[in-house]
Structure 1
C-alpha cells in the first residue's frame, strides 16, 4: 500500500479526533491508550479499537508510542534530525 493510501485514513482519524476536542495531530487510537485509565469509556474504546485492529498487537499502544516518538512526522522533522 502506498504512503498516500496510509496517510489519508490517518488524516480522517485525526480530523474526527479534533472535531471532538482532541489534539489536531493525534489519532483516536493514541488518545484511547493515553486516557484508558481515566474512565471506563476510554478503556472500552481502547479495547474496541484493539479488537478492530486484531492483526496488530497492541494497536492503541503502538499508535501512542508512534505519536510520542514523532514517527508520524517526515524523517527530517523528527527530533534529532
Structure 2
C-alpha cells in the first residue's frame, strides 16, 4: 500500500472511530462526536455545561482550538465522504 492510500485509510478509520463514539453516546451514526460537540457548545441557543466541557476536551486532544468547528464544517460540506458521495445531483 502506498503512503497516500495508507494515509487515506487511516483518516477514514479515525472518522469511523469518531462516529462510533458519537453513536455510543446517543448521537447520530453519521456524525462525528467532534461535530456534535461544536453544535452542542457553540451553535446551541443555551449550551449545556457538558458540551462546553467535551468541546474543550476534544479540541485539547487534537491540540487545535478549532478542531470541533472544522469537524462540523467537514460534516456540512461532506468532506469526509468519498468523491462519489460529495456531489448530490
TM-based fold match above 0.5:
yes
* Larger Rg over CA atoms: 2
Aligned with 2:77 (options 69, 72, 78):
69
Q: Which runs of 5+ in 2 are unaligned?
A: 1-5
If the length of structure 2 is used for normalisation, what is the TM-score?
A: 0.79
Superposition RMSD on alpha carbons, in Å? 1.7
Distance 1:47 1:58 in 2: 10
TM-score, reference length from structure 1: 0.86
Moved over 6 A (4+): none
The structure richer in helix per residue is 2
- Count, aligned residues: 80
